[in-house]
Chain A
Amino acid sequence: NAGVTQTPKFQVLKTGQSMTLQCAQDMNHNSMYWYRQDPGMGLRLIYYSASEGTTDKGEVPNGYNVSRLNKREFSLRLESAAPSQTSVYFCASSELMGSKETQYFGPGTRLLVL
């Protein structure tokens, strides 16, 4: 049981390049999320997916697109990377058990845009 996995772990891009960050979970969770974390800051929500086939914008969606490919996978795409998108990206999935909703986070992808 790997939990939430993310690829790649590190990436360096030039301004204007595109890339897709991959996320997969093996816990059969319905909801999945993408966050970004800038140095010294808390996490900010980019996009989320309440269930397979649905996606919605979070706090900071500009410059990103997402795809909920199936129940396991939720990808984040940067179409034209900008230096302001240099950040650590975390994917998460969540389960609801009674009143307890727990989000499980992946290890993160560290992205540097030059």
Chain B
Amino acid sequence: DAKTTQPPSMDCAEGRAANLPCNHSTISGNEYVYWYRQIHSQGPQYIIHGLKNNETNEMASLIITEDRKSSTLILPHATLRDTAVYYCIVMFSGGYNKLIFGAGTRLAVHP
């Protein structure tokens, strides 16, 4: 079973920030939070990951609460091409790991 809970769907206006929440209340101390997205039946694509500090890269920002029980993925200026299903996944990092996907959040970006 997935160890995360996400809203099934969200909407966002183009050019605005999209904030996608994720609950992972049973996360253990050495598990990371990973975000992937899947655009229209393509293979999933890595976005960002973090352990306890906030992270930012060219695609997005990841805000993890101090107790690590929840996180938020932020797409600062959403575009139509960001319309996708976003998956929040917790897992150990190191060696090989099996991604356990939940149902994710379907983000629709509209003009």
Chain A residues with a Cβ under 8 A of chain B: 4, 30-31, 33, 35, 40-45, 48, 50-51, 58-59, 88, 90, 92, 94, 96, 99-108
Contact = CB atoms under 8 A, between A and B. Distances in A.
Interface of B: 2, 32, 36, 41-46, 49, 51, 87, 93-104
Mostly, the B contact residues are: loop
Contacts of A96: 93-95
A59 B98 CA distance: 10
Contact of A101 (B45, B97, B101, B103): B97
Given A48-B98, A101-B93, A103-B99, A42 B87 contact: yes
A16 to B, nearest CB: 27
7 contacts: A31-B96, A41-B103, A51-B96, A88-B41, A94-B97, A100-B49, A107-B43
Contacts, number: 66
B102 to A, nearest CB: 5
A42 B102 contact: yes
Given A40-B103, A45-B98, A102-B46, 10 more contacts: A4-B43, A42-B102, A42-B104, A48-B98, A59-B100, A99-B94, A103-B36, A105-B42, A105-B44, A107-B43
